[in-house]
A = this chain, B = another copy of it.
């Protein structure tokens, strides 16, 4: 597969504010389409479960976002190519209409893939004109919404990959999304060590000059007790030790909801694992592969992560603990630009904090909620994040399917604790003293 963000791969941190220049707009939009290159129109139309969406729907919805929140309000006389799209590709914004029901997104053979691409072209033309407007730099509110649209597009790039992976796994043919690419062998992993922190009052949340989501704001104070964070992610090998010790059958390690969920779902290993003749295998975007003991465990729910931590005599990190230690680390790692689309082992030596960024999203023990003083934006965009602040857990750090420039130490991802189809893994923490 071609690199999807050629111009960004070299970048490490985020020194300057992101600005939605025409080039950046074009690069991010075309990256979404690059992700669809290995897909047929059929692949792009199917929906494997209510939580996932067809690739085609992601393509259309991200365009709907620019149309609804940028072109419609900002371009006099803008005409949508099809009035029905306003309903079909609204995800969950009640303030701007009635969204088409999520579990029915896989019933739309029309508009066709090609029509959706044409829709993207239509929106792109409008956006390109708008971005070329002479006074655009003066309209900071508009630029902020455009930037939000680009960040939103990057979020859906990741979802597009996780949703295709889930779809392909339903097919007994086990199709491979990524054809002809080599998956590098995993390096030996260093011993897990503990990075300690003395606690005290510290600040988390974003207040820099660049983009951030509303849920990362305001930056605020936290009081921490002394703690330690593991130097690397939990590996498949360690997970197999948990399984071998009866981890999935012993209720003493589990939250009650978690144990019920695991039993109801017949869980006895991470999602995508299958027992084969030669041992455990797992499904990847490159097809079935042997489970590599050195690679980080992936596709586990927060319930499993929590049970593993208890078994290991540790706990999951708080999102504040994670952010405070991550704040000083460069945002580098196995992101989508590397093209592996699968987590890989930590490698290296010494006890530096590894893999904080990329590879797998790291479950925290923090329920997803508002920061002190949090205010959602006025209007429909206030529905972007705030209304989901119940029954979800925070994940941190990005994954092998995340765009590198999309990530920050303060970035908060969130999913229900039962979710497994994201690239989600585990880093341990523990109390000190």
Answer yes or no: A170 CB below 8 A from chain B CBs: yes
Known: A220-B225, A256-B387. A110 touches B431 (CB 8 A): no
Which of B43, B110, B417 makes the CB contact (< 8 A) with A175?
B110
Known: A252-B94, A257-B391. A109 touches B223 (CB 8 A): no
Q: Kindly supply a per-residue 1/0 record for chain A positions 317-348, scoring 1 wherever the CB is within 8 Å of any chain B CB and 0 otherwise.
A: 00000000000000000000000000000000
Q: How distant is A335 from chain B, measured CB to nearest CB, in Å?
A: 27
CB–CB A43/B94 < 8 A: no
Which residue of the partner chain B has the closest CB to A48?
A: B107
Question: Complex: how many Å from CA A324 to CA B184?
Answer: 55
Question: Complex: how many Å from CA A365 to CA B201?
Answer: 22
Answer yes or no: A173 CB below 8 A from chain B CBs: yes
Which of B42, B167, B431 makes the CB contact (< 8 A) with A372?
B431
Q: How distant is A391 from chain B, measured CB to nearest CB, in Å?
A: 5
Contacts of A173 in B (CB 8 A): 84, 88, 108, 110-111
Q: How distant is A88 from chain B, measured CB to nearest CB, in Å?
A: 6
Question: Complex: how many Å from CA A88 to CA B92?
Answer: 35
CB–CB B95/A251 < 8 A: yes
Q: How distant is A105 from chain B, measured CB to nearest CB, in Å?
A: 11
Answer yes or no: A187 CB below 8 A from chain B CBs: no
Question: Complex: how many Å from CA A389 to CA B417?
Answer: 12
Answer yes or no: A149 CB below 8 A from chain B CBs: no
Q: How distant is A172 from chain B, measured CB to nearest CB, in Å?
A: 6
Q: How distant is A43 from chain B, measured CB to nearest CB, in Å?
A: 4
Which of B44, B45, B201 makes the CB contact (< 8 A) with A223?
B201
Contacts of A42 in B (CB 8 A): 41-42, 44-45, 56, 109-110, 112-113
- New A-B contacts (4) at CB < 8 Å, excluding given A40-B109, A41-B42, A220-B225: A88-B172, A88-B173, A109-B167, A373-B431
